Amino acid sequence: MRRALPVLAVLALVAGCSGEGADEDGGTLTVLAAASLTDVFDRLAERFREEHPGVDLRISYGGSDGLAVAITQGAPADVFASAAEEQMAVVTGAGLAAEPETFAGNVLTIAVPEGNPAGITGLADLAREELTLAVCAPEVPCGAAAGELLEVAGVQARPDTYEEDVRAALNKVGLGEVDAALVYATDVAARPDRVDGVEVPEADSVVNDYPVAVLDDAPNPAAARAFVDLLLSDEGREVLARAGFRAP
């Protein structure tokens, strides 16, 4: 089984993205974001760079748990966007951010290889012994949500691999290494050419809220606030909605 990325690996990842900030229109802006935000934040980054050409925007993606711990251990960053409130609470509880704002919601679905060769029709099928299943590690928001969802549905699934973030789980499906994975609906929507999705009506009972915050020690607080404002704007909400995220 694979486990979540070690904190040292996350620290190394973001260390290369840090730099001295200046203001809203200059310097470096470092954003740490949940892996499930990759596509939508990449699109928002294009818009942000158009509006702030002097800012060197750098975004690092990973499991929210590892990013949160890295921040508490001194990883330099300006903005943290988490896939669940529990990981943001690690940062706020350490006194490193205040007043996070919820900007989106997300639910799980079942990702299967194109054509659904295992014939999976719903959560109950994940208990089939012959199936191979990928989920996120329990400490990652998508893993915690998967455990809660399976419990709510009364499904005794036995995952074959635990991945460090939701994109790693999705890649297992895209490569045909597993029959299914529990991932966010937005991740399946972002990879229609590689995976198919199986709707999970029970997922509405387990919704992950996504909070974002400007870190108190942000090297470039003005640019950080501008990025968060874009995320919370009508334009940002439209981009999130098109990607399949729910309104907060």
pLDDT in tens, 80-139: 999 999 999 999 999 999 999 999 999 999 999 999 999 999 999 999 999 999 999 999
Residue 17 has pLDDT above 90, yes or no: no
Give the C-alpha separation, 175 to 155, whole Å.
25
Closest-CA residue to 231 (of 18, 35, 60, 31): 31
User: Model confidence over 145-188: pLDDT tens digits?
Assistant: 999 999 999 999 999 999 999 999 999 999 999 999 999 999 99
Element (H, E) at 102: strand 101-106
Mean pLDDT throughout 73-77?
A: 95
Count the alpha carbons within 13 Å of 88 in the hemisphere toward its beta carbon: 24
Give the C-alpha separation, 194 to 176, whole Å.
10
Pairing of strands 180-184, 195-198: unpaired
Residue 86 CB neighbours (<10 A): 16
Q: What's the pLDDT at 7?
A: 46
Closest-CA residue to 77 (of 95, 97, 94): 97
Q: Is 227 helix (H, G, I), strand (E, B) or coil?
A: helix
Give the C-alpha separation, 84 to 135, whole Å.
16
C-alpha dist (Å) from residue 70 to 7, 98, 99, 136, 199? 6, 17, 20, 19, 34
Q: What's the pLDDT at 93?
A: 97
Show the CA angle centred on residue 126, arms to residues 123 and 129, nearest 5°: 155
Q: Return the higher-pLDDT residue of 22 and 143.
A: 143
User: Do the Cβ atoms of 31 and 91 come closer than 8 Å?
Assistant: no
Q: What's the pLDDT at 26?
A: 83
Share of the chain above pLDDT 90, in %: 88
DSSP states along 118-163 = T---SGGGGG-TT--EEEE-TTSHHHHHHHHHHHHHT-----SEEE
Q: What's the pLDDT at 44?
A: 98
Give the C-alpha separation, 5 to 42, whole Å.
22
